[in-house]
Amino acid sequence: MAEKPVAPSASPDPFELKMASFSLPVMRLLAVDLETLLLHLGNRIERAPDFFRNTPIVIDLTAVNQAKAPIDLPQLVKMLRGYGLLPVGVSGANTDQALAAQSIELAVLRDGAGRRPRPAEEPPAGQAVALPNGRRLQTVASNSPPPPAPPAFTLITKPVRSGQRIYAEGGDLSIVAPVSSGAELMADGNIHVYGPLRGRALAGMRGNTEARIFCQDLQAELISIAGHYRVSEGIPNELRGVPVQVFLDQQILRIERL
């Protein structure tokens, strides 16, 4: 009697797809004069060459489009790559700019892409609602509990090592341990570090200009509030290794000793 062939065992998938969030520098263009842009960019890179080297960056075209100023996008991208930056996409692009970006293999990022439409606002309980046939419907309060609020505070009690990324979504982040060089802290609110702060710390990730960074020992590679940043080379020596707070004052990033 002939044996039945044995079906091969199913092999595991060679990859998986999942969503992830990354913090990327955004270059918000305010003018289209590439020579002026080249000069200012060169000055910044000279002050912090390691920060800009091989750094992915998104080009925000919103402001120049509001001013209806034309921009040579391929030439701009070529210029940025010449400085070691890696443009990965554009935001705020019009139709022509989107086509130009796609032709040079840049992603076109749109605010709110992939989000579900916001549902219509429901009337308060007890309020009469007009129906198409002229009748009125009395609403009643729902017995279902409200959705839980997002966490407002994230506490980390173990050392944050090089390569680790921690994001406190919707609130503050508190670290009661050392933060190593190469680590990255992010929070929509404030960041508190009760120990040495090395690596990067980015507060106000969603544009909260009132966010602050507090630490007992400032040795950071980068600090940022709502997108306004300063790299280690821009931190005065007298503010290193001491307790400080970092905040925005009239859109200027300030570091103050505690």
The full set of domain ranges for the chain reads 26-109, 154-257
CA distances from 200 to 23, 51, 217 (A): 11, 11, 13
Q: What's the CATH architecture for 154-257?
A: 3 Solenoid (2.160)
Phi, psi of 230, deg, nearest 5: -145, 135
- Predicted confidence at residue 243, as pLDDT, reads 95
Q: Name every residue whose Cβ is closer than 8 Å to that of residue 162 and which is 6 or more positions away in sequence.
A: 180, 181, 182, 183, 199
Q: Which CATH number is associated with domain 26-109?
A: 3.30.70.260
Domains 26-109 and 154-257 belong to one CATH topology: no
- Predicted confidence at residue 192, as pLDDT, reads 96
- Predicted confidence at residue 9, as pLDDT, reads 55
**Is 245 exposed, middle or buried, given 0-12, 13-18 or 19+ CB atoms closer than 10 A?**
middle
Q: What is the mean pLDDT of each run of 10 residues along the chain (258 residues)?
A: 56 72 78 85 76 83 84 89 89 89 88 40 49 47 54 85 90 93 92 94 91 96 90 91 94 93
- Predicted confidence at residue 30, as pLDDT, reads 87
Joined tokens for residue 46:
């000279």
